[in-house]
């Protein structure tokens, strides 16, 4: 049984002094905040291997003297920029992988141009991903490639792997990847087919604007932006807090537009008909059955993920045909699972211990 | 040492956290209703159409004024980012050359490390491999 809380009167003067100092620092740092830019993000040295419209393929320069045989291709979600994987030194997933001896490539996205509004799911799954895998094979000289997909990048990777069970994917790692789209309850409601006319929207706007994507993410936690601003002011004296805030805020608001036809396909096939979960998904006329995936698979999900709830993600492991498969549930949210202090101590070491034995 | 329960700063932070959870939970109930979906999509449909029309008009206006539009500026910004990236690469290469030779003389491209790394013995997978 714990003792009742008591007020330590002797500590009050120190506490007051500390708060006065913080109040002064808030004023000084508050001015500095608006007069300065945030930390440079995505600065790990890399080479561009291919640019095709919205698609970018990067190769990061190795940081170890000896690297694993099998290279890694990271497939980024199409809604956000890939620098979430490469924030700042010490908090960069890419840097972590490079230092642990992996050879890392990234398939990243930029805003699709108006003339790219006709891009469809098949362009991403049957063209961009195979194109990048070929380039990774050529550049590394290795036939096998390990693939890591984040969020919807995981969906794209799964679709590719299910259509190409004999393809070059040696093992697959998915982070917070949705399978049962009925369980993304708020997104389901926003795109309720009785009220949401996706054809009208896409026909009207072409590419779906980033403001709309961002609003739909922010509506999942409508109070959080205001509270975060208050917390920022509260902690503005703390340089580390501000640095972290600026990194994540910049990334979260740096949302990408989505190609119109691609968005139409996602809405109809996944949000409305839930085809991936039902086993009826096809891409470009080719069946995408998760049971055909036989390669080793790791699925990392976050305990407090408000974007892809566990209920939406938990079906992946039972549905794939792999015998070597594992799901790990880690503390954190959709973003803190993969980046920031939480990821440094939880996901990254777990991933390294799983992947290193499958990279030789 | 003061107990955290009596610390007003901790109490304030805790209250903020609870407020956030409470507001989000309350709002999520409203956002999950069919009425919200109907209202949002009605408003959103009108807004999206108007947004598109306004964008098209502005694009034409900027062309007629011989000024770059937003999409052209975004294109320029992306190209600038690529150029900045390449400049950074050149800078790093020059720094590497300086380290290697002590001069600005170009050196051959650094060789890739050998792909011979082995995992620590304890990390080998125990499950069936396919």
Q: Answer yes or no: do B52 and A206 touch at CB < 8 A.
A: yes
- pLDDT computed for residue A23 by the predictor: 77
What's the rounded Cα separation, in Å, for the pair A340 and A88?
9
Percent of chain A with pLDDT over 70: 96
Q: What is the mean pLDDT of chain A?
A: 89
Residue A79 and residue A124 in contact, taking contact as beta carbons nearer than 8 Å: no
Distance from CA of A190 to the nearest CA of B (A): 5
CB contact under 8 A, B37 and A194: yes
Tell me, what's the ipTM?
A: 0.77
Q: Which is more confident, B125 or A186?
A: A186
Which three-class secondary structure state does DSSP give residue A50? strand
A110–chain B Cβ distance below 8 A for any pair: yes
Three state DSSP letters for A236-290: CCCHHHHHHHHHHHHHHHCECCECHHHHHHHHHHHHHCCHHHHCCCEECCEECCH
Res A270: pLDDT: 96
Residue from A256, A257, A253 nearest A207 by CA: A257
Name chain A contacts of B34, Cβ cutoff 8 Å.
189, 192, 194-195
Helix, strand, coil content of chain A in percent (nearest 5): 45, 15, 35
Looking at the complex, does the CB of residue B121 fall below 8 Å from at least one CB of chain A?
no
Average pLDDT over residues B55-65: 76
Q: Is A194 on the interface with B (CB under 8 A)?
A: yes
State the smallest CA–CA distance between residue B4 and chain A in angstroms.
8
* pLDDT value of position B31: 77
- Sequence spans of domains, chain A: 46-358
CA B118 to chain A, closest CA, distance in angstroms equals: 7
Q: With bands split at pLDDT 50, 70 and 90, how would you rate the model's confidence at B3?
A: low
**A8 has pLDDT over 70:** no
CB A101 within 8 A of CB A131: no
Taking the C-alpha atoms of residue A287 and residue A276, their distance in angstroms, rounded to an integer, is 10
pLDDT level of residue B104 (50, 70, 90 thresholds): very low
Q: Three-class SS of residue A40? A: coil
Nearest to B112 among A62, A219, A322 (CB): A62
- pLDDT, residue B105, reads 44
Query: How much is the average pLDDT of A66-78?
Result: 97
Residue A156, classed as helix, strand or coil, is: helix
Is the pLDDT assigned to residue B123 strictly greater than 70? no
Give me the residues of B, 64-103, that contact A with CB < 8 A: 71, 74-75, 78, 82, 85, 88-89, 92
Is 70 exceeded by the pLDDT of residue B120?
Answer: yes
Of A303, A15, A245, A307, nearest to B10 (Cα)?
A15
* CA pair distance B51, B57, nearest whole angstrom: 10
pLDDT greater than 80 at residue B65: no
Residue A55, helix vs strand vs coil: strand
Residue B126: band (very low, low, confident or very high) from pLDDT cuts 50, 70, 90: low
Examine the pLDDT at B1 and tell me if it is beyond 70.
no
CA distance A85 to A27: 33
Residue of B nearest to A184 (CA): B32
Alpha carbon of residue A51 to chain centroid: 21
Residues of B in contact with A200 (CB under 8 A): 45, 49
Q: Identify the weakest region by mean pLDDT among A77-91, A137-151, A293-307, B17-31.
A: B17-31
Q: Which of residues 9-68 of B touch A (CB under 8 A)?
A: 9, 12-13, 16, 19-20, 23-24, 27-28, 31-34, 36-38, 40-42, 44-45, 48-49, 51-52
Coil, strand, or helix at residue A80?
Answer: strand
Burial letters A61-89, b for 16+ CB under 10 A, else e: ebbeeebbbbbbbbbbbbbbbbbbbbbbe
Q: Which CATH number fits domain A46-358: 3.40.50.1970, 2.170.150.70, 3.40.50.1820, 3.30.300.20?
A: 3.40.50.1820
Contacts of B110 (CB under 8 A, 6+ apart): B96
Measured between CA atoms, the residue of chain B closest to residue A358 is B125
Query: Mind listing the pLDDT tens digit for each residue in A47-56?
Result: 888 888 899 9
Please report, for chain B, the start and end positions of each structural domain, with discontinuous segments joined by +: 68-107
Contacts of B121 (CB under 8 A, 6+ apart): none
A26 near B CB under 8 A? no
A354 chain-B contacts, CB cut-off 8 A: 125
Could you give the CA distance from residue A178 to residue A284 in angstroms, rounded to a whole number?
21
Quote the CA–CA distance of A69 and A74 in Å, as a whole number. 16
Residue with tokens 């890392």: A104
For residue B43, give Cα distances in angstroms to A85, A183, B36, B40.
Answer: 36, 25, 11, 5
Q: What residues in B contact A45, CB-CB < 8 Å? A: 88-89, 92
Confidence of residue A287 (pLDDT cuts 50, 70, 90): very high
Nearest CA in chain B to A65: B113
Q: How far is B49 from chain A (nearest CA, A)?
A: 6
Do A45 and B92 lie within an 8 Å CB cutoff? yes
At residue B128, the pLDDT reads 41
Q: CA B87 to CA B92: how far, in whole Å?
A: 9
Torsion of CA B32, B37, B38, B43, to 10 degrees: 140
The number of angstroms, rounded, from the C-alpha of A272 to the middle of its chain's C-alpha atoms is 23
Distance from CA of A36 to the nearest CA of B (A): 20
B77: which residues sit within 8 A by CB, 6+ positions away?
A: none
Q: Does residue B117 belong to the interface with chain A, where contact is any CB pair within 8 Å?
A: yes
pLDDT-derived band at B106, boundaries 50, 70, 90: very low
Instruction: Summarize pLDDT for A210-254 with one digit per residue, the tens.
Output: 888 887 777 777 777 778 888 888 787 788 888 888 888 888 888
Return the SS3 of A318: helix
Find out whether A213 and A267 touch, Cβ atoms under 8 Å: no
A188's tokens: 């389901």
Nearest CB among A5, A46, A201 relative to B48 is that of A201
Beta bridge partners of A148: A74, A173
Spell out the long-range contacts of B80-85 with Cβ–Cβ below 8 A and sequence spacing 24 or more: B82/A48, B82/A51, B85/A46, B85/A48
pLDDT of residue A333: 87
Instruction: Say if residue B130's pLDDT is above 70.
Output: no
Query: pLDDT value at position B111?
Result: 76
Please write down the long-range contacts of B12-17, taking CB distance under 8 Å and 24 or more positions apart: B12/A234, B13/A231, B13/A234, B16/A227, B16/A230, B16/A231, B16/A234
């Amino acid at each position: 049984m714990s003792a009742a809380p008591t007020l330590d009167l002797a500590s009050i003067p120190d506490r007051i002094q500390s708060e006065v100092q913080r109040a002064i620092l808030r004023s000084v740092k508050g001015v500095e905040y608006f007069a300065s830019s945030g930390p440079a993000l995505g600065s790990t040295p890399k080479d561009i291997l291919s640019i095709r419209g919205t698609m970018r393929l990067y190769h990061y320069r190795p940081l170890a003297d000896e690297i694993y045989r099998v290279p890694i291709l990271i497939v980024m979600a199409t809604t956000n920029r890939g620098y979430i994987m490469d924030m700042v030194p010490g908090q960069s997933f890419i840097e972590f992988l490079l230092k642990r001896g992996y050879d890392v490539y990234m398939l990243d996205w930029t805003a699709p141009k108006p003339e790219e509004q006709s891009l469809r799911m098949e362009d991403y799954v049957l063209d961009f991903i195979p194109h990048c895998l070929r380039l990774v094979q050529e550049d590394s000289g290795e036939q096998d490639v390990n693939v890591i997909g984040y969020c919807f990048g995981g969906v794209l990777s799964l679709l590719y792997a299910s259509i190409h069970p004999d393809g070059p994917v040696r093992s697959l790692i998915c982070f917070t990847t949705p399978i049962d789209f009925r369980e993304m309850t708020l997104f389901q409601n926003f795109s309720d087919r009785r009220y949401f006319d996706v054809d009208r929207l896409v026909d009207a706007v072409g590419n779906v604007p980033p403001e709309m994507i961002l609003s739909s993410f922010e509506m999942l936690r409508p109070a959080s932006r205001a509270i975060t601003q208050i917390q920022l002011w509260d902690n503005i004296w703390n340089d580390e807090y501000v640095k972290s805030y600026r990194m994540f805020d910049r990334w979260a608001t740096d949302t990408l537009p989505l190609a119109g036809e691609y968005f139409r396909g996602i809405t109809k096939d996944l949000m409305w008909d839930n085809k991936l979960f039902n086993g009826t998904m096809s891409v470009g006329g080719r069946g995408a059955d998760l049971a055909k995936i036989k390669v080793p698979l790791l699925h990392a999900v976050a305990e407090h993920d408000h974007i892809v709830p566990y209920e939406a993600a938990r079906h992946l492991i039972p549905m794939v045909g792999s015998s070597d498969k594992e799901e790990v549930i880690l503390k954190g949210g959709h973003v803190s699972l993969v980046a920031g202090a939480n990821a440094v101590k939880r996901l990254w070491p777990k991933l390294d211990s799983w992947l290193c034995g499958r990279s030789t | 040492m003061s107990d955290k329960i009596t610390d007003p700063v901790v109490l304030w932070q805790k209250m903020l956290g609870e407020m956030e959870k409470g507001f989000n939970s309350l709002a999520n109930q409203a956002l999950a209703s069919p009425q919200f979906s109907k209202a949002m999509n009605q408003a959103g449909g009108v807004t999206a159409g108007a947004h598109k029309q306004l964008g098209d008009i502005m694009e034409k206006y900027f062309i007629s004024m011989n000024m770059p539009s937003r999409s052209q500026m975004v294109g320029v910004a992306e190209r600038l980012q690529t150029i900045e990236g390449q400049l950074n690469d050149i800078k790093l290469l020059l720094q590497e050359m300086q380290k290697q030779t002590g001069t600005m003389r170009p050196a051959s491209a650094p060789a890739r490390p050998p792909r011979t790394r082995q995992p620590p013995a304890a990390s080998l997978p125990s499950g069936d491999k396919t």
